[in-house]
Structure 1
């Protein structure tokens, strides 16, 4: 069995997980995206388990990444909310392909001043050959689902210039490690 890789950062990071699994009544695998602030894989796994609405046994991570830089902006985690003209958006674009049953999704992070601008930027990032592109969900990290405040921390954007590198998600079926019994996160565990 392949488990979510172990990691430990010096400071908390914004992590984005694409989860899969079943519910009590589902016929096929369901998916959801969760946003987590964590320093370690153990801390992230606990938050993922709390956010998952399906069965514990079926829960797994299909894709994930550390969101450190988007569109030339560094993503910082802060304990204080700061006013800003630009915001971090998670955009989920649904699309269909001729001859293929079901809906596909293109998900991306963008920095923009509004939801309309975020959708436009996401559309530009998306593949050119997609048909019937439509916006399924736009998550404004400031007000759509209050992702600007994740786990009692705030997202701060710091412009650094041209983007350094594209986000490279870690894809594949990864189970969460068994929950450590009586685990209490402290400095000695890091």
Structure 2
């Protein structure tokens, strides 16, 4: 199972809690903990999960794992970080989504179609090809393949889970 996890914690040079998104592969969320700890850039003490998604598939494309790289023209899974500002709210707001596309420009177009209408000055902060973000050494060299097939809906949870 592919997991998309929002980690939070402290960093020695930051005044407030910082966050990052990590992609991991395991049978359960708990089994991703070693991968999550290895990927965290901040202080190890108090690192925690703020939210997570278990991804079986996206928009009619089932996620499968393989030791072989996908073909160059195969559809790919992209993580998009949308950012914008809300009236009467300090700081930047974010919305995260997964899209299937053949290239980054197509992924950005799909992401921009989902910009939140109540944001002012909305922008696309980052588009990341998940294949390039998975820690290959921790998932035994497995690549993400997308197959047009039925899949379970994405499970999404906001939790506060301190990593052991």
**TM exceeding 0.5:** yes
Decide whether the 8 Å contact of 2:55 with 2:155 is kept in 1: no
Higher alpha-carbon Rg: 1
Q: Which residue of 1 aligns with 2:157?
A: 170
What is the CA deviation profile of residues 82-116 of structure 1, one whole-angstrom value per residue up to 9, with x for unaligned ones?
20431110010111112211111111000011212
- Superposition deviation, residue 16 in structure 1: 0.8
Pairing 1:57–2:23 present: no
**C-alpha distance in 1 between matches for 2:30 and 2:130:** 24
Pairing 1:16–2:11 present: no
**C-alpha distance in 1 between matches for 2:144 and 2:56:** 11
Unaligned runs of 5+ in 1: 1-12, 179-190
Query: Which range is displaced more, 111-120 or 88-97?
Result: 111-120
**C-alpha distance in 2 between matches for 1:112 and 1:118:** 5
**C-alpha distance in 1 between matches for 2:60 and 2:106:** 16
**C-alpha distance in 1 between matches for 2:124 and 2:110:** 12
**C-alpha distance in 2 between matches for 1:64 and 1:140:** 18
Decide whether the 8 Å contact of 1:15 with 1:37 is kept in 2: yes
TM-score normalised by L of structure 1: 0.77
For 1:70, which of 58, 64, 81 is the aligned residue? 58
Question: Which contiguous aligned blocks of 4+ residues in structure 1 show a shift greater than 4 angstroms?
Answer: none
Unaligned runs of 5+ in 2: none
**C-alpha distance in 2 between matches for 1:76 and 1:38:** 12
Give secondary structure in 1 for the equivalent of 2:96: strand
